Amino acid sequence: MIEIAAVVTAVENGYLEVESASTGCGRCHEPGGCGGVSLGSMLCAKSRRLRVRNDLPGPVQVGDQVDVGVADGILGQAALVTYALPLAGLLLGALAGARGGDVGAILGGAAGLGVAWLLARRMRRQAEARAGDLVVVRHRPA
């Protein structure tokens, strides 16, 4: 399980809204760390807001620090949807449009990429709606 440090920004109906300034696993600077914070800061400079189910036994307040755990398989699925799906759409669209020559391949590739992008966006929204994939591992009151 990968853990991400975050700060609680809202508490409502059994859920926490947290803001994560880090885009890496938290071990980026240690030997054997992923180095993802470097890549993440280039691709996504702003902080990320997440909605997490609150299973903590004690009270949680805005400003508390928490560590949010992300299951290992979730990151693999996210990478597949983010990178492989649009690439597959581009290639399949280009192959389908190749019957119409170069212009057909370009238009088919663009259409395939657009459809794959819309599908990836929808899958991302569905994944974000499932807050059960994220769990609070540690709670540090402010």
Pair 37, 21: CB distance under 8 Å: no
pLDDT of residue 116: 94
Helix and strand totals (H; E) in the chain: 4, 5
pLDDT of residue 42: 46
Residue owning tokens 């508390």: 64
| Entry pTM | 0.53
Q: Is 102 helix (H, G, I), strand (E, B) or coil?
A: helix
Q: Which two tokens stand for residue 87?
A: 């690439």
Residue owning tokens 């009270």: 59
pLDDT of residue 36: 52
pLDDT along the chain (142 residues), means of 10: 83 84 57 54 59 80 84 75 90 93 94 93 76 72 76
